[in-house]
Amino acid sequence: MEQHAVKIKLVENATHDVLRIVLEKPGKYIFTPGQATEISINKDGWIKEKRPFTFTSLPDNADLEFTIKTYPSHQGVTNELLKLKPGDELLVGDSWGTIGYKGVGTFIAGGAGVTPFISIFRYLHSKNEIGDNKLIFANKTKADIINKDEFEKILGKNFINILSDEKT
């Protein structure tokens, strides 16, 4: 699998423990909404530590975006991502994966498992084809809901939240 060294353009918090990372896009890079790739950090000791993450940007966007939940207790790649800043490099593999939009339905996700649906719903919204798709999104608390405002805007009443640790 080919690996592309790409620079980080932006790292910011999407929630208290989820990062939004925007990267330069390698030339002619192709993926479809819902697909993933393997990423590692281009620095000593981390190059071989590849982990799978899902594109949350759209194929036509100028940049690549990933939405990544961090696990400091694992002392692994996502903890290391917390230390990165614009200009640092990641190694991005080719795209793969069979998750993709198959037609109108009800999508069910928990926590960071929502990432394939971010790209799929953004894509449908950009085509004005959101239709009657629904998202049931389970999280512990309101503070854990990734892209809450955007999902509300795109899906309206079809964005249904379930919280396990908070009564609202």
In terms of CB distance, is 51 or 134 closer to ligand FAD? 51
d(CA 27, CA 82): 26
Strand 106-110, strand 134-139: pairing:
parallel
Q: Which residue is nearest to ligand FAD (CB)?
A: 76
From residue 22 to residue 61, what is the string marking binding to ligand FAD with x (rule CB under 6 A)? --------------x--------------xxxx-------
In terms of CB distance, is 92 or 132 closer to ligand FAD? 92
- The residue among 55, 30, 45, 75 whose CA lies nearest residue 115 is 55
Q: Which residues pair with 46 in a beta bridge?
A: none
In terms of CB distance, is 76 or 93 closer to ligand FAD? 76
User: Cβ–Cβ contacts within 10 Å for residue 143, how many?
Assistant: 12
Binding site residues, ligand FAD, CB under 6 A: 36, 51-54, 66-69, 71, 73-74, 76-79, 97, 112, 115
